[in-house]
Chains A and B, each alone.
Chain A
Amino acid sequence: MSRNVSILVLTIFALLGFWIAFWGFSDIRSAIGEMQMCREKVIFDHSSFWFLSLATLPLFLLLVIVPDRLHYVVLILIVLAAVVLPFAGLFALEADADGQGYTFAEPLTVWALIENSGVPANDCVRR
């Protein structure tokens, strides 16, 4: 594979990564929004947490512009971001679920790629 083709492939996957990460982000944001509105039932798919990991795909393009000796730093950054981002999403959602007193059918976790649903506590206050 030539360098130009590689850059093209990485650019395509970077765009795909952006789109998937945006999907995950908007899922989490809309779930948080619904919880703040005290909706009767909030449905959320746990795979959205891992979609955030794919926001790291554009970072592979950094390998093209960063000097060779720093490539390992970029890779460490990518691996860390790929692991940390799903947990960040989880903590954001969990914090809001706890704040609004939502109870989910299954515990919120990054380790299960399932569709989950939550119901609010009786004293849920709209924010």
Chain B
Amino acid sequence: MVIDWLSIMYQGLLVTLQLVGYSALIATAVGAVLAVMFISPYRPLRWLAQLYVDIFRSIPLLALLFFFNYVLGKYTFALGLTPFALAVVCLALNEAAYVGEVYRAVIRSVPSTQWEAGTSLGMSWRKTLIYIVIPQALPPAVPGTLNMVIQLMKNSALASLISVNEVSLVASVLVSENFMPLEVFSVLALLYLAIIVPLTLMSDRLERFLAVRFGLSDKAVTALRVREAG
């Protein structure tokens, strides 16, 4: 019985993993852009990044999904965009606001003497950022990125509410057929845990390792902790 459920849920799980994969790519890119805007010498860029973060951290993810689905869905459907694509965009825009702040903290953790070294070599702000600061910021950015993937995985369950055929929706449909909610949802929870718990442990371990190896300040490490998104 459970074997049958698992084979049905497997299809949904593939959709969940696709949701997480695509939205992780977009969220990383948007988050990186936000982080650079945050540390840029131009005030309007910093201000815009703060505005983005303030707004997207305030909107509950489910409300954002409904907004995209009900309001923009009318137009995007004509463009051939499925609820899946809308969910990817929503998950990414929401998570970028969190990971952008994490990346900012990571870039800030690079000592300011490195910036000065770049300047003293006659490098521009942009060149210093690209050739000196970002390469040093990459290793400490890993646990934060892993946490982002974890958060996206948890958040992707909400996509079921705009009828994306991911694993939670598959489980709900299964329940409506066999009326065994306790058993099916327990299996569903275990399925999520089987993927997320190892990732959580891995990111904790990495965080501690990097805190020692790179001497990150407590504040930077706290910023790397998984942040809850609504």
Q: Do A and B come from one complex?
A: no
Residues of A within 8 A of B (CB): none
Residues of B within 8 A of A (CB): none
